[in-house]
A and B are shown apart, each in its own frame.
Chain A
Amino acid sequence: MNKPHSNKAWFLVLPVFILVAFSAIVPLMTVVNYSLQDIFDVSTRYFVGTEWYREILNDSRLQDSLVRQFIFSGSVLLIEIPLGIGVALMMPKSGKWSVISLLVLALPLLVPLNVVGTIWQIFGRADIGLFGWALNAIGIDYNYAANPIDAWLTVLLMDVWHWTSLVALLSFSGLRAIPDAYYQAASIDRASAWAVFRYIQLPKLKSVLLIGVLLRFMDSFMIYTEPFVLTGGGPGNSTTFLSQALTKMAVGQFDIGPAGAFSIIYFLIILLVSWLFYTAMTHSDNK
């Protein structure tokens, strides 16, 4: 136990500490600061404890947004994950067509978020949009600007169009990493195509799917730009998700205190749910 000790080593950690402090800790602490005080101007501020938190948690508009948000993220995961796996399974495994399908799949991912919103805003219009016009032409009364269900479905469809590719590309890379011997062994064992999927492909895809699920959950839970451009949160509040409600509160009404409390709760929810996903998916194989 005679190792030389030198506290100078702490200086080596300092750059990282400063970086993390300015990128994460200081901004986060600012929010914490706002959420615990009522600030009128620089010299007039009151410590209010958990009052903003209680107010936020009891605000029915925010509760509605939260429910909406969970339904939205849940739907996104339930549609995009199986669909992405399905697309990956059907993709050509090698050769020219494989490259072409990879390129086509990558395209939606390259479109800027507000452009995606604009595309669908026009695409869905009944007068000049192909999608909206076609639906109305075959007798479906579709209007995303007036009908909440239509608006919902359009936002969901837009997200599926935009992000399924990500899951498909991740799954494709995961599938390509499975050694041929597994398929050969399965064929010798007379496994059905379903058994091959269930016992070889799905288990081997687990780690990439974990990344896919986490990314899609976090992104869809924080979705802002696309519905903002497409529906502006309407009709009514039907497509107002958490981030839009937060923005309204913080920069629209300038309720910095409650908005701070809201941010902290929002952050904790994402952290908690991501942790749950992660633990559920990594602990299932320890036995």
Chain B
Amino acid sequence: MAEIHLKSLAHSYDTTANPPEYAIRQMDHIWHDGGAFALLGPSGCGKSTLLNIISGLLKPSEGDVLFDGVRVNDIPPQDRNIAQVFQFPVVYDTMSVFDNLAFPLRNMGAGVAKINSKVTEIAAILELTDVLNKKAANLTADEKQKVSMGRGLVRDDVSAILFDEPLTVIDPQLKWKLRRKLKQIHERFKTTMVYVTHDQLEASTFADKIALMYGGQVVQFGTPRELFEQPNHTFVGYFIGSPGMNFLEVKRCKEGVCFGDIAFPLSAAEKKALQHSTSNNLKLGIRPEFVHVWDKPNSQAQQANVEFVEDLGTYKIVSLTLGGVSIKARLQEDQKIPHQSAYISFPEQWLMLYIDEFLVEKENDDE
């Protein structure tokens, strides 16, 4: 078990390019010992690159990787004591499940008694006991993925287990089962786990803390709730949530910021930040879940045109246009579905101000 510290880390696949193109832009990041983390982001954001740098399959072009304070840049993967589970299950086809699980132990020269007890224990946890004598080639995809996970778990010396989109090839109905298994394993072994995915649901069910990556950088590192309620970058707002955050491009005005002729009051901290900035890239963001839809017109509510209503089974999403901008709102259960026009308001506490795409804190803690 170990704390993984990425120190001024950056990576470029082609260091000769000018200007250099970075797959990972310079970052500092710490994965705390024993945590379950998700590395979430769209395809091509650099999350797999980052994972391979941690495991040692890739050498970072700049910066250091520290395991418990020890620099491991030059240590090859086999000596880093990490385990990695890949997108496509990697099993040794010709071996039995037992031999697959025993393989890392045998390579380390472990004794027969230790191998037997360890493999039996891990197989029981992963529910592989019934298939221990089967050839790995004849397993189903989810069993294979469990075997490749098991090869990491049998080792006592594993400091972290890295998962690279491990559920991609698993049938949907088995996904949640395997995800729950992972969670249980984490609770039991308390190994540091880093789980790469582009699926926010997977990330938030697995991880205590999610690092959201975008354009080669971690833009936010927080609990699933923080990412949902306080996205600190417009990309986080857009990427997390289904549908993503609504954004209104606003202008400075004497009340604070205005969208057309609608004025939005700001908190003191927000006003201060606005004064310090010269940028005109101002946005207000609000989650569809927090947009209030009224049944009847009232003094606070704005009239918006209803475009269409999507029924997602347990709830409905209504798409509206307000001042030429489309806004999505989530209707409460058993709320009346508005026709043609709806009356909406934006509760102040859920309105986030973004200057140059970055969040302005509502309360300024440090001053």
Q: Do A and B actually bind?
A: yes
State whether A181 touches B88 (Cβ < 8 A). Answer: yes
> Which listed residue, A181, A192, A285, A286, touches B90 by the CB 8 Å rule?
A181
CB of A185 closer than 8 Å to a CB of B: yes
CB of B57 closer than 8 Å to a CB of A: yes
State whether B93 touches A285 (Cβ < 8 A). Answer: yes
**A181-B86, A199-B95 are contacts. A285–B135 as well, Cβ < 8 Å?**
yes
State whether A203 touches B94 (Cβ < 8 A). Answer: yes
Please provide the chain A residues from 176 to 215 with a CB less than 8 Å away from any CB of chain B in the complex.
179, 181-182, 184-185, 187-192, 195, 199-200, 203-204
State whether B55 touches A188 (Cβ < 8 A). Answer: yes
Within 8 Å CB of B138, what residues of A?
285-287
Task: Return the chain B residue nearest A181 by Cβ.
Answer: B86
State whether B82 touches A188 (Cβ < 8 A). Answer: yes
State whether B78 touches A187 (Cβ < 8 A). Answer: yes
Interface hit among B36-44, B102-110, B294-302: B102-110
Within 8 Å CB of B92, what residues of A?
199-200, 203
Within 8 Å CB of A181, what residues of B?
86-88, 90
CB distance from B280 to the nearest CB of A (A): 47
- Cα–Cα distance between A188 and B134 once the two chains are bound (Å): 23
> Which listed residue, B57, B88, B104, B134, touches A190 by the CB 8 Å rule?
B104
- Cα–Cα distance between A192 and B103 once the two chains are bound (Å): 11
- Cα–Cα distance between A208 and B359 once the two chains are bound (Å): 57
Please indicate which of the listed interface residues A185, A188, A203, A286 has the most CB atoms of chain B within 10 Å of its own CB.
A188
**Chain B interface category by residue count:** 20 to 34
Within 8 Å CB of A287, what residues of B?
134-135, 138
State whether B107 touches A192 (Cβ < 8 A). Answer: yes
**Chain A interface category by residue count:** 10 to 19
CB distance from A201 to the nearest CB of B (A): 11
Task: Return the chain B residue nearest A195 by Cβ.
Answer: B107
> Which listed residue, A179, A191, A286, touches B103 by the CB 8 Å rule?
A191
Within 8 Å CB of B88, what residues of A?
179, 181
Task: Return the chain A residue nearest B89 by Cβ.
Answer: A181
State whether B86 touches A184 (Cβ < 8 A). Answer: yes
State whether A190 touches B108 (Cβ < 8 A). Answer: yes
> 1/0 contact trace for A266-283 toward B, CB 8 Å?
000000000000000000
- Cα–Cα distance between A199 and B55 once the two chains are bound (Å): 22
CB distance from B87 to the nearest CB of A (A): 7
- Cα–Cα distance between A184 and B83 once the two chains are bound (Å): 10
State whether A203 touches B78 (Cβ < 8 A). Answer: no
- Cα–Cα distance between A1 and B92 once the two chains are bound (Å): 48
The 9 A-B pairs of least Cβ separation, nearest first, read A185-B90, A181-B86, A190-B107, A189-B104, A199-B92, A190-B78, A203-B94, A203-B93, A188-B77
Residues of A in contact with B (beta carbons under 8 Å apart): 179, 181-182, 184-185, 187-192, 195, 199-200, 203-204, 285-287
Q: List 25 A-B contacts (CB under 8 A).
A: A184-B55, A184-B84, A185-B86, A185-B90, A187-B57, A187-B76, A188-B77, A188-B78, A188-B82, A189-B103, A189-B107, A190-B104, A190-B107, A191-B107, A192-B107, A195-B103, A199-B94, A200-B92, A203-B92, A204-B93, A285-B94, A285-B135, A285-B137, A286-B138, A287-B138
Residues of B in contact with A (beta carbons under 8 Å apart): 55, 57, 76-78, 82-84, 86-88, 90, 92-95, 103-104, 107-108, 134-135, 137-138, 148, 151-152
Given contact pairs A181-B88, A188-B55, a sample of 20 additional A-B residue pairs in the complex whose CB atoms are under 8 Å apart: A181-B90, A184-B90, A187-B77, A187-B78, A188-B77, A188-B78, A189-B103, A189-B104, A189-B107, A190-B78, A190-B104, A190-B107, A190-B108, A191-B103, A191-B107, A192-B107, A199-B92, A200-B92, A204-B93, A287-B135
